[in-house]
Amino acid sequence: MIPTTTLADGTTLPLLGQGTWHIGDEPERRKTEIASLREGIELGMTLVDTAEMYGSGRSESLVGEAIASVRDEVFLVDKVLPTNASESGTIEACERSLAVLGTERIDLYLLHWPGAHPVDDTIAAFDRLRDRGLIGAWGVSNFDPAEIGALSSAPLVNQILLNPSRRGPEFDLLPNHRSSRPHITTMAYSPVEQGRLLDDPTLAEVADRHEATTAQILLAWAIRSGDVIAIPKASTPEHVRANAEAAELDLTSRDFADIDSAFPAPTAPTPLEVI
């Protein structure tokens, strides 16, 4: 059973979703990747995240095919590139993404990162898209505390890089999200640092104590607070099942102490990191 959290608009979402960065890039893997997404949905990982940037639409195309038969069970997240995020450009980008996805709505539409276009213009486009029923809600990605504070209204979600080696947001951004009214939900991408943390000896020791994998420990760490959603990528059904099993892990005070020793929590503001 995947634990859930509730967004400010009352939407309940699983704490573990499915990311799709670099999914759809290899045609020979398409069937397996589609099977993986469907397996994750069946296991309760019904949040599926994509972006127009991922493979220049190849990820969106694969996601659209994977979720077509179960569209009403899926909470679909997509993102507009900053270069397209003028008021008219955002609307055009959304319409393109919907066509590639083969669906009539995007449940949550994010500005992928701050860019040259005024964010107020992007938000105006989001409002128009919501009025037309093309999106359900809007949010942002890769926004730091100052950029969040400059917004004219609170986004539903801020999707950021967060894992034990990228803990900067814990100092100021996560408290900002939690104290905002309405609150902003944090969505953590690259929770296993694109695989670079999988050989860490401390994390491996923690994993051994739980008879788990290092990746599972990282996912359990990411969702430990109960209000941060992690969106790991998995390219095989076996990998998806392993990700889902991470939700059943209960890390101990010793585990947290060991992780904190190897990856200290921030004690001062640090620039928001982005991959």
Q: Which residues are catalytic?
A: 54
What does the alpha-carbon distance between residue 71 and residue 102 come to, in Å, rounded to a whole number?
Answer: 10
What does the alpha-carbon distance between residue 233 and residue 101 come to, in Å, rounded to a whole number?
Answer: 18
What does the alpha-carbon distance between residue 173 and residue 273 come to, in Å, rounded to a whole number?
Answer: 12
Residue with tokens 């890390």: 251
Q: Per the structure block, which two tokens stand in for 136?
A: 């359900």
The strand order across the sheet containing 157-161 reads 18-19, 47-49, 75-80, 106-111, 135-141, 157-161, 185-189, 228-230
Using only C-alpha atoms, what is the Rg of the chain? 18
Q: Indicate the angle between helix axes 214-222 and 201-210, nearest 10 degrees.
A: 90
Q: Strands 4-6, 12-14: parallel, antiparallel or unpaired by DSSP? A: antiparallel
**Cis peptide upstream of residue 237 (ω within 30 degrees of 0):** no
- Single out the residue of 65, 3, 1 nearest to residue 37, CA to CA: 65
